[in-house]
């Protein structure tokens, strides 16, 4: 369940005010036009209903892919590198100033994140590439949603969705890794926490954790069984229990542990960063717990397949404790009241509605869904052990101390910097027509997007506006 990123928006600028080129005089004008299109696309995407944004991601990605090569052309001109086999003579007239709205920084409840002023082409490049990485993660999220809908996908649709989401995760990981390596040359940290080394490093670890967990989801039959069980249209009263080979169960456990380790690294990096969005911090912790709980579940399956039902139950109880839930079978659970069962059913229905409406589902990194799988297996194995096996259930803490090491599955991909094609470079040799003006965008800054004159916070003195930051008021 990828994190539900919010795409940032930006103000309009004209690159003609900051750069000039004697070899390719049309480059600043073309860059301004491409950025104006991207700015409009981002602002329109933001105003769309949450349920409609997934279908618009391809449009945002196309605008980003059109704009990013121009940024690298400017970067090549400033650094003296060649672009499409040509040298670009670029002169910096004055330092570039841009504004981007931060989406990963912490803000006061009810207020929109502020728009931060940034200087240098490097900041513009980092924010644009980060936005592209968010789009890849959101596309993976849209693909995975089809796996949890009430109408179960066919095996072919399931394989296609998982393959597409894995590809998107690895693409996002390559971008974040590239930005971390590039930021190693910085002497000072940027003003926006979104493009800081700590946050980009954490997002690189987070996307790798999610990509690793996807490899397990591809062959994990238990979530599908849970979805079928709560499907009202399912008329099967009896079905054959799912089977999973013993060797693969142990392999899946090690893959889940590797995912948990990546999430733990991301959590440590985010804790070192300042003013990070609390929802991202919580999501990272939930992903770490979910991945480790899955590892416990697969180790329990491995034990149950070997005839050690008591040990398998202990693994499942340990998995629930990792998720922060009460272990089924404890005295507290046996004494649970009817009200707690109603509360559980209400939470399950609420999560199902989130998936159906595509609003806020999976923000817990799949922790609640994994809890459903654990409950199903615990009920089944406990009944078997109470009536047939009657094995002792060892303490789960002892088993958790013997967990194996994680195993990596993916090899990180290298991000290939996009470059302008030769025809575009040749066309920019000609000077721009004096009658042509760069397209800066048709979308005007709305009141909620303009931070230059922030309103007074409710209950605060007028002089205290800078302490509360910009954004919309509560009323």
Note down pLDDT in tens along the chain; length 475 residues: 788 999 999 999 999 999 999 899 999 999 999 999 999 999 999 999 888 899 999 999 999 999 999 999 999 999 888 887 888 889 999 999 999 999 998 887 777 788 899 999 999 999 999 999 999 999 999 998 888 766 677 888 888 999 999 999 999 999 999 999 999 877 777 888 999 999 999 999 999 999 999 999 888 888 877 777 655 554 443 445 556 666 688 999 999 999 999 999 999 999 988 789 899 999 999 999 999 999 999 999 999 988 899 999 999 999 999 998 764 444 444 444 454 555 555 455 555 555 555 555 667 888 888 988 999 899 999 998 888 778 888 999 989 999 999 999 998 899 999 999 888 898 898 888 766 655 655 666 654 544 444 444 444 444 444 444 334 333 3
Tally of domains within the chain: 2
Residue 73: inside a domain: yes
Whether residues 165 and 262 share a domain: the answer is no
Whether residues 303 and 451 share a domain: the answer is no
Whether residues 295 and 196 share a domain: the answer is no
pLDDT of residue 61: 97
d(CA 26, CA 283): 45
Residue 88: inside a domain: yes
Query: Residue 119: which domain range?
Result: 1-218+411-469
Whether residues 372 and 430 share a domain: the answer is no
pLDDT of residue 364: 83
Whether residues 325 and 259 share a domain: the answer is yes
Whether residues 64 and 96 share a domain: the answer is yes
Q: Exposed/middle/buried for 160, CB within 10 Å: 0-12, 13-18, 19+?
A: middle
Cβ–Cβ under 8 Å, residues 54 and 38: no
Residue 7: inside a domain: yes
CA-closest candidate to residue 96, choices 218, 206, 13: 13
- Give the three-state DSSP class for 37: helix
pLDDT of residue 344: 53
Whether residues 177 and 102 share a domain: the answer is yes
Whether residues 296 and 254 share a domain: the answer is yes
Cβ–Cβ under 8 Å, residues 113 and 131: no
Do strands 115-119 and 97-101 pair parallel, antiparallel, or not at all (unpaired)? antiparallel
Residue 430: inside a domain: yes
Q: Of the candidates 387, 407, 427, which is a domain's last residue?
A: 407
Q: Among the residues of 146-196, which ranges form H helices?
A: 155-183
Instruction: Kindly state the helix (H) or strand (E) to which residue 63 belongs, with its residue range.
Output: helix 57-79
Residue 281: inside a domain: yes
Whether residues 341 and 423 share a domain: the answer is no
pLDDT of residue 188: 79
CA-closest candidate to residue 344, choices 328, 356, 330: 328
State the CB neighbour count (10 A cutoff) for residue 331: 7
Q: Of the candidates 407, 426, 441, which is a domain's last residue?
A: 407
164 Cβ contact partners less than 8 Å away, ≥ 6 residues apart: 139, 140, 143
Whether residues 284 and 420 share a domain: the answer is no
Whether residues 392 and 264 share a domain: the answer is yes
- Give the three-state DSSP class for 101: strand
Residue 362: inside a domain: yes
CA-closest candidate to residue 370, choices 299, 300, 287, 281: 287
Q: Give 221's Cβ-side CA count (13 Å radius).
A: 10
CATH number at residue 228: 1.25.40.280
Q: Of the candidates 407, 428, 459, which is a domain's last residue?
A: 407
Instruction: Kindly state the helix (H) or strand (E) to which residue 60 belongs, with its residue range.
Output: helix 57-79
Q: Report residue 98: phi and psi, to 5°.
A: -130, 165
d(CA 132, CA 61): 7
Q: Can you read off the two tokens belonging to residue 297?
A: 């579940």
Residue 475: inside a domain: no
d(CA 69, CA 104): 25
Integer CA distances (angstroms), 97 to 116, 120, 124, 274, 430, in order: 10, 6, 9, 23, 27
In the DSSP assignment, the letter for residue 475 is: -
Residue 150: inside a domain: yes
Whether residues 244 and 371 share a domain: the answer is yes
């Amino acid at each position: 369940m990828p994190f539900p990123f919010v795409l940032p928006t930006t103000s309009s600028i004209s690159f003609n005010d900051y750069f000039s080129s004697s070899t390719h005089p049309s480059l600043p004008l073309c860059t301004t036009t491409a950025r104006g299109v991207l700015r409009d696309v981002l602002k329109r995407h933001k105003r769309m209903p949450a349920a409609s944004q997934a279908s618009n991601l391809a449009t945002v990605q196309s605008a980003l892919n059109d704009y990013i090569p121009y940024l690298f052309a400017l970067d090549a001109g400033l650094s003296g590198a060649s672009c499409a086999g040509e040298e670009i003579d670029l002169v910096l007239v004055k330092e570039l100033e841009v504004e981007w709205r931060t989406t990963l920084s912490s803000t006061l409840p009810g207020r929109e994140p502020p728009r931060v002023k940034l200087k240098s082409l490097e900041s513009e490049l980092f924010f644009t590439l980060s936005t592209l990485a968010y789009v890849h993660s959101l596309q993976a999220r849209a693909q995975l949603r089809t796996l949890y809908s009430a109408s179960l996908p066919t095996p072919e649709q399931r394989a296609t969705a998982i393959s597409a989401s894995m590809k998107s995760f690895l693409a996002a990981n390559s971008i974040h890794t590239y930005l971390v390596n590039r930021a190693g040359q910085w002497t000072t940290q940027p003003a926006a926490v979104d493009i800081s080394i700590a946050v980009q490093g954490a997002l690189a670890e987070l996307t790798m954790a999610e990509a690793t967990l996807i490899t397990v989801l591809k062959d994990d039959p238990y979530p599908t069984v849970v979805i079928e069980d709560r499907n009202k249209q399912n008329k099967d009263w009896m079905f054959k229990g799912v089977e999973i080979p013993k060797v693969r169960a142990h392999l899946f456990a090690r893959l889940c542990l590797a995912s948990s380790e990546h999430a733990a690294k991301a959590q440590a990096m985010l804790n070192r960063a300042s003013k990070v969005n609390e929802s991202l911090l919580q999501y990272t912790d939930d992903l770490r717990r979910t991945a480790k709980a899955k590892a416990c579940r697969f180790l329990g399956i491995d034990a149950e397949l070997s005839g050690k039902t008591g040990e398998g139950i202990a693994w499942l109880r340990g998995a629930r404790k990792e998720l922060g839930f009460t272990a089924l079978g404890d005295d507290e659970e046996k004494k649970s009241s009817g009200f707690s069962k109603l509360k559980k059913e209400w939470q399950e229905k609420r999560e199902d509605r989130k998936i159906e409406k595509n609003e806020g589902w999976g923000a817990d990194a799949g922790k609640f869904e994994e809890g459903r799988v654990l409950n199903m297996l615990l009920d089944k194995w406990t009944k078997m052990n109470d009536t047939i096996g009657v094995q002792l259930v060892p303490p789960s803490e002892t088993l958790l101390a013997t967990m194996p090491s994680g195993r990596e599955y993916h090899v990180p991909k290298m991000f290939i910097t996009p470059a302008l094609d030769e025809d575009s470079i040749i066309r920019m040799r000609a000077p721009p027509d004096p009658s042509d003006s760069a397209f800066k965008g048709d979308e005007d800054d709305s009141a909620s997007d303009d931070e230059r004159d922030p309103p007074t916070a409710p209950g605060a003195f007028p002089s205290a506006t800078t302490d509360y930051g910009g954004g919309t008021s509560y009323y």
